[in-house]
Amino acid sequence: MSMAEYKGKVKNIQDTPFGYTVSLIGGKWKLVIMYLLAENQPIRFNDLKRQIGAITYKTLSSQLKELEADGLVKRKEYPQVPPKVEYSLTEKAETLLPVLEGLCEWGTKNQKLNPDL
């Protein structure tokens, strides 16, 4: 389905495929987390935190839990001391990678149009 099929019919954005997708990946950090997982999986929590930088431990933890609950991130815990946990994308999340690539291509094209950025 495309956006055109919903033109003039949308009463609630949540009822559309777009609304569903945004509910899974929307917000400030989820796409950043998915991008970094795509580039570096599997990755440990502290490594992910270091790469993101400006995110709190609590926020990163809650975002990872939400992504895991939505079936986009896998959490693998190793039974050792100290605990070791790694995160990676699920097959469902990997189907979103072309969308991330499209965003990167859009950024490449449009960033050149705004050299002050």
Asked if the bond preceding 82 is cis, omega within 30° of 0, the reply is: yes
Q: What residue type is assigned to position 45 of the chain?
A: F
Confidence of residue 112 (pLDDT cuts 50, 70, 90): confident
Structure confidence by residue, pLDDT tens digits, 30-69: 999 999 999 998 999 999 999 999 999 999 999 999 999 9
Structure confidence by residue, pLDDT tens digits, 82-97: 889 999 999 999 999 9
Strand bridging mode 84-89 / 43-44? antiparallel
Cα 25 from Cα 87, distance rounded (Å): 16
Strand bridging mode 43-44 / 73-78? unpaired
